[in-house]
Amino acid sequence: MYEQAAGIAGSDWMLASTIMEESPALLAKTGSEGFCQLLDLTGRAAGVNTTMAKHLVEAAPAIIARTGFEGLETLLSCAAAIAAKDAGAALGVVDRSAALIDRLDQGGYTDISSSVYGLVAGVAAGRRDGIGRSIADNLFHVADKRRA
């Protein structure tokens, strides 16, 4: 665990600070094994974009509570695919993810959030011309509107 944290700390001090701030709550919620999983995901996210990794750590407690680590990993895949085209859009996806999952659940679409994120990740990763990000954004907006 300490080696993982040290590796992340070497990549970005703001990310390391966020992990340090969030670690008591994360450890309490996930235990040491879950925290190690989170550090692994955070390290992978930092390889894509350190700011996105910081936002992922901040969103992690809410996402884990709603979808478990599998959902957090799917969110990372989705955000990483979008970040390859537009880092700002990827941050928005991470930041809005807990609210979107809640809206899907409230609309009666329980347990489909991972499928939505997986679909968006596939669309965003499959397109190299910038259209993938636009389609991904539209899919999130459609999913959001479905709750109404």
State residue 65's pLDDT score: 86
Number of neighbouring beta carbons within 10 Å of residue 137? 17
Query: What is the C-alpha to C-alpha distance for residues 35 and 31, in angstroms, rounded to an integer?
Result: 6
Picking from 21, 20, 29, the residue whose alpha carbon sits closest to that of residue 2 is: 20
Token duo for residue 107? 């609309």
Query: What is the C-alpha to C-alpha distance for residues 93 and 45, in angstroms, rounded to an integer?
Result: 14
Token duo for residue 90? 């990827």
State residue 139's pLDDT score: 57
Query: What dihedral do alpha carbons 40, 105, 146, 148 form, nearest 10°?
Result: -140
State residue 46's pLDDT score: 87
The number of distinct structural domains making up the chain is 1
Any idea what DSSP says for residue 86?
A: -
Query: What is the C-alpha to C-alpha distance for residues 38 and 132, in angstroms, rounded to an integer?
Result: 28
pLDDT in tens, the chain (148 residues): 556 666 666 667 788 888 888 888 888 888 888 888 888 888 888 888 889 999 999 999 888 888 888 888 888 888 888 888 888 888 988 998 888 888 887 877 667 777 777 777 777 676 555 545 555 565 555 555 544 4
For residue 137, the enclosing domain spans 2-146
State residue 56's pLDDT score: 92
